Amino acid sequence: MAEKQKPVRLSSRFLGPYRWVLYVLYIVLFGLIVISSIRVGWFYAVGQTFIYGYLLYAGIRIVKKFQQASFDDEFLYVYQKQQDYIIPLENIESVEIESLGGVYKVNLYHPEQLGKEFYFKTSLIYPLNYKSKDELVNVLRRNIDKAKARRQRLPHNALMS
């Protein structure tokens, strides 16, 4: 029997501190916008607070969805503080890039506890090392294709016993 491959890390190991830095930057920027808006007028400040508050909420929601991920020949591993998830590669529909900053979106055929999709960021300095990180994601895509080819397909009218 072949020896089990060691999982290859997909996401940045500094994802936790990266989240907190972004949270602090978002909140400081929001605070500065609100303070400068109050100087113009209260009505203007309320409008700016709602607009930029929504943008802050959307930004935090996106950063919150980032997961730490690794993979091997058979599974994708998603690490969280409370619980780790093991997703068979056959369950992954696609892995596609979402932004120029190196954020990738993983679409699943069947929803897991994570949902139908989740995100991971390959590197904090992604534009500078995109060739090696994109090649790593391409290895994951090839492993997904191999796993889908190994999957046994049963006819839709097959009787199970």
Query: Are 73 and 41 in a shared domain?
Result: no
Query: Are 37 and 78 in a shared domain?
Result: no
pLDDT given at position 95: 93
Other beta carbons less than 10 A from residue 26's beta carbon: 17
Inside any domain, residue 156: no
Report residue 98 CA to chain centroid gap.
Answer: 9
Range of the domain at 78: 68-150
Inside any domain, residue 102: yes
> Is pLDDT of 108 > 80?
yes
Inside any domain, residue 161: no
pLDDT given at position 107: 92
Query: Are 133 and 60 in a shared domain?
Result: no
pLDDT digits (tens, 9 = 90+) for 57-99: 887 887 787 888 899 888 999 988 888 889 999 989 999 988 8
